[in-house]
Amino acid sequence: MCGDGPEVTVEHLFRGNALNAVDAKGRVSVPAFIRQKIERRSNDRAIVLARHEVFHCLVGYDTDYALVVDQENERRRLKEEDSDPLAHYARAYLTMSDTAEVPYDGSGRIVLPPRIRRKASIEDLALFVGVGRTFELWNPHLAAAKGPRPLAELAADWLADKGISA
């Protein structure tokens, strides 16, 4: 996303990746590289999760970044208003309504709500991937099978490191 929201500098960008276990209750540890950026970008110790607009995964960001998402939605609405006026509403429902704000505890764990887990088919493992202003949360098996080639390779490498076939 782009826009005139909160200032984003290089130390605010999500870079890196991690594969973490998800327990039966949906608890998962948020990698330090994500928590550090969230705390630099926002006063909250919470993450917003939404279904990705293109891929079968979740997109995540800090609560303040929601303003940037809204500004990007508006920019795209103005661009598309004559050609596809309903596209804006579909995108707004996806990015603003169908989200979850999940706090993380002192040890850096969040609980993924069941409906959010289902949106990305997150099961017992979650692949966190920094992609700049946002991060993505993938089922690593889906990432390996259906993700763009660099992501598929990354997911396959993580699974191999854990002794799991992709």
- How do the domains of the chain map onto residue ranges? 10-161
At 88 the pLDDT is 75
3-state secondary structure 76-135: HHHHHCCCCHHHHHHHHHHHHHCEEEEECCCCCEEECCHHHHHHHCCCCEEEEEECECCE
Residue 118: pLDDT over 80: yes
pTM of the model: 0.86
What tens digit of pLDDT does each residue of 138-149 get? 999 999 999 999
At 3 the pLDDT is 46
HSE-up of residue 19 (Cα within 13 Å, Cβ side): 20
Helix (H, G, I), strand (E, B) or coil at 149: helix
How far apart, in whole angstroms, are the C-alpha atoms of residue 48 and residue 58? 10
How far apart, in whole angstroms, are the C-alpha atoms of residue 47 and residue 64? 10
At 137 the pLDDT is 98
How far apart, in whole angstroms, are the C-alpha atoms of residue 131 and residue 128? 10
What tens digit of pLDDT does each residue of 4-13 get? 545 656 678 9
How far apart, in whole angstroms, are the C-alpha atoms of residue 115 and residue 86? 25
Residue 72: pLDDT over 70: yes
- Torsion-angle region of residue 31: left (phi > 0), alpha (psi -120 to 50) or beta? beta
How far apart, in whole angstroms, are the C-alpha atoms of residue 16 and residue 80? 34
State the average pLDDT over residues 75-104: 82
What is the assigned CATH class of domain 10-161?
A: alpha beta
At 55 the pLDDT is 95
User: When comparing pLDDT for 22 and 12, which is higher?
Assistant: 22
